[in-house]
């Protein structure tokens, strides 16, 4: 996890709007309110959450929402018994033997985070079932973590004062996600993370891939064009992640960024054709490809 944070700190680009957003999130978390970053895929919610978490200067616990997550994964459970045997040999003829069995509890990740005041990043939390997420209600509202289903003397654990939690979710994702319970939603500060503007996207792309100014401008303008076409159809186009993929693969595989280059065309098809074909509803793949090449050529010519 430390490596994850280290990698993020090296790669994360903080532009003024993002810095302002991060500062606010740190303030809210320090005041013990949970923060929720929401926005479409690839806008940088997870990166931002990890960056903000690193600013809290506490150990990080990273949780990834999924429908299979159960209370037990978060709070732990019992794992076997420890036996303690005493044999009394004081009077030879009387052999007294006593055995004591103690059930062992194994702390789940949330228990460790709550006990030790970690900063939790709970990524894509709406992918977990609401029953599982109910645990977080008590954590953020009452400041306790209930130990449901654990036969133990403790029924709950008090939340460490330095504990904080950042949630992320993608509201456009319907398949495999659950609606956030109003009670939980009410208790978090939800911030919409917007798509980065063109200048910032070019900046991130250049920093992450070392493509030239011209190439970065071309990729970004092309992606912007494609995204707005998707938006006209009420769909979300490919995000920043796709731009980074195009730039870094072209560079690593030595593919010249030029719409007349067949290898570059294939790279574009492999990365965005699937989304574009689905979003724009062309009848054949051929038409989708023709559209993509046409748009690239128009922009390249005007570059």
Please report, as ranges, the residues that interact with ligand ATP according to CB under 6 A. 11-13, 18, 39, 41-47, 170, 204, 240-241, 244
Which residue, 75 or 240, is less far from ligand ATP as judged by CB?
A: 240
Q: How far is the CB of 288 from ligand ATP (least distance, A)?
A: 22
162 or 173: CB nearest ligand ATP: 173
Phi, psi of 168 (to 5 degrees): -130, 150
Q: Is residue 63 helix, strand or coil? A: strand
Q: Three-state SS across 66-117?
A: CCCCCHHHHHEEEEEEEEEEEEECCCCCCCEEEEEEEEEEEECHHHHHHHHC
Choice between 201 and 215, CB closer to ligand ATP: 201
Q: Which helix (H) or strand (E) holds 35?
A: strand 35-38
Cα 69 versus chain centre, distance: 15
Chain centroid to CA 141: 23
**What is the closest distance, in whole angstroms, from the C-beta atom of residue 250 to ligand ATP in the complex?**
16
Nearest distance in Å: CB 7, ligand ATP: 9
Q: Is the CB of 77 or the CB of 237 nearer to ligand ATP?
A: 237
Q: What is d(CA 96, CA 279) in angstroms, rounded to the nearest whole number?
A: 78
Least CB distance to ligand ATP at residue 164 (A): 19
CB of 123 vs ligand ATP, minimal distance in Å: 7
Q: Interior CA angle at 208 toward 61 and 41, to 5°?
A: 55
Q: Which one, 111 or 166, has the nearer CB to ligand ATP?
A: 166
DSSP annotation of 189: E
Indicate the residue whose CB is closest to ligand ATP.
44
Output 52 or 150, the one with its CB closest to ligand ATP.
52
* Rounded distance between C-alpha atoms, residue 171 and residue 188, angstroms: 15
Rounded least distance, CB 181 to ligand ATP, Å:
21
Q: What's phi and psi for 119, nearest 5 deg?
A: -100, 125
* C-beta of 78 vs 245, nearer to ligand ATP: 245
Residue 135 Cβ, how far from ligand ATP at the closest point, in Å? 23
């Amino acid at each position: 996890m430390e490596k994850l944070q280290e990698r993020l700190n090296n790669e994360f680009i903080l532009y003024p709007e993002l810095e302002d957003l991060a500062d606010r999130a740190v303030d809210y978390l320090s005041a013990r309110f949970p923060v929720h970053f929401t926005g479409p895929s690839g806008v940088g919610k997870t990166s931002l959450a990890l960056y903000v978490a690193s600013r809290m200067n506490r150990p990080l616990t990273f949780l990834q929402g999924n429908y299979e997550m159960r209370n037990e994964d978060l709070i732990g459970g019992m794992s076997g018994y420890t036996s303690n045997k005493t044999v009394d040999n004081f009077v030879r003829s009387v052999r007294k033997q006593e055995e004591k069995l103690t059930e062992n509890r194994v702390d789940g990740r949330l228990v460790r985070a709550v006990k030790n005041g970690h900063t939790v990043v709970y990524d894509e939390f709406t992918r977990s079932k609401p029953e599982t997420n109910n645990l977080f209600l008590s954590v953020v509202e009452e400041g306790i973590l209930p130990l449901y289903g654990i036969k133990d003397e403790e029924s709950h654990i008090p939340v460490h004062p330095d504990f904080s939690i950042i949630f992320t979710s993608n509201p456009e994702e319907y398949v495999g996600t659950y609606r956030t319970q109003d009670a939980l939603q009410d208790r978090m500060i939800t911030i919409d993370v917007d798509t980065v503007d063109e200048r910032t996207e070019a900046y991130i792309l250049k920093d992450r891939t070392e493509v030239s100014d011209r190439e970065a401008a071309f990729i970004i303008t092309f992606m912007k064009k494609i995204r707005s076409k998707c938006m006209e159809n009420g769909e979300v186009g490919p995000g920043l992640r796709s731009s980074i993929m195009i730039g870094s693969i072209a560079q690593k595989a030595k593919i010249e960024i030029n719409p007349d280059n067949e290898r570059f065309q294939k790279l574009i098809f492999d990365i965005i054709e699937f989304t574009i074909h689905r979003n724009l509803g062309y009848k054949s793949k051929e038409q989708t490809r023709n559209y993509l090449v046409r748009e690239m050529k128009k922009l390249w010519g005007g570059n």
